[in-house]
Amino acid sequence: MDLVDFARGTALKIAFVVFFVGVLWRLVNVMLLRHRQMLSEPRRSVGAAVLGGLKGMGSRSWPHPEFIKRTVTGEALGYSYHIGLFIVILFFAPHIVFFGSFAGVRWPALPSSIITIFAVITLTLFVAVLSRRLGHPVLRRLSNFDDYFSWFIVALVLVTGLMATAHVGGPYQRILGLHILSFDLLLIWYPFGKLMHSFYIFPTRAIDGYLMTRKGAPS
């Protein structure tokens, strides 16, 4: 059994289990813990508040006009690499085959050359994001192990993936094995670090929007 077999076999299975256990654990945790009681008089109806919650998911995903000058660089970088990651992860033919192998469905792929371009751009943005984090005095003080490790693990998957497609750094199957193995690691780390934001981000924005509207503030 070589690295690829281990990575797409036993290691993937373990990662798969840890991922689902961890994600549900943390979601249930957040949902069932006691919430802060709303002490103010409800200013708007529940219906309006639900609408406000939906609006909050959108409005909080866009820079606030007042701060736009200060935050636009970070937000643009963030959005760009997220889009790049989504395209690379979801539309590269071998990835579709991989997800399809257990999800049971496949969808059309983008040409590999386009994927490679997106992957290179994404990696470049990733480096830019890290240098911004290291260069920005406030951001640096706010950063902890989670920030660096989550960055590292996603970058590792990206780099090994690019190496595999470019056939550099050793025999293809070894690099492919490292690529899948780093993805397994990412799955394991996923629920316990900041990557979990993908599950939290929209519900929390919605809840904030709901509460704000209920209290009569703009969402």
Binding site for other proteins (CB under 8 A): 1-2, 4-5, 8-10, 12-13, 16-29, 32-37, 39, 93-95, 97-98, 101-104, 106, 109-113, 167, 171-173, 176, 180
- Give the Cα separation of 46 and 214 in Å (integer): 7
Task: Report the nearest approach of other proteins to the CB of residue 113 (Å).
Answer: 6
Count Cβ atoms within 10 A of the Cβ of residue 93 and give its class: 0-12 exposed, 13-18 middle, 19 or more buried: middle
Tokens (6 digits) for 2 = 């070589």
Task: Report the nearest approach of other proteins to the CB of residue 120 (Å).
Answer: 15
Closer CB to other proteins, residue 38 or residue 72?
Answer: 38
Closer CB to other proteins, residue 143 or residue 173?
Answer: 173
Task: Report the nearest approach of other proteins to the CB of residue 125 (Å).
Answer: 23
Task: Report the nearest approach of other proteins to the CB of residue 7 (Å).
Answer: 10
Task: Report the nearest approach of other proteins to the CB of residue 165 (Å).
Answer: 10
Tokens (6 digits) for 120 = 């290179």
Closer CB to other proteins, residue 85 or residue 125?
Answer: 85
- How many other β-carbons are positioned within 10 Å of the β-carbon of residue 6? 15
Task: Report the nearest approach of other proteins to the CB of residue 183 (Å).
Answer: 10
Compute and round to an integer the Cα radius of gyration of the chain.
Answer: 20
Closer CB to other proteins, residue 153 or residue 175?
Answer: 175
Closer CB to other proteins, residue 15 or residue 125?
Answer: 15
Helix (H, G, I), strand (E, B) or coil at 110: strand
First to last CA, the chain: 55
Alpha helices by DSSP H, listed for 33-171, are 46-59, 68-91, 93-103, 112-135, 137-142, 145-166
10 Cβ neighbours under 8 A, 6+ residues apart: none
- Give the Cα separation of 13 and 102 in Å (integer): 12
Closer CB to other proteins, residue 12 or residue 153?
Answer: 12
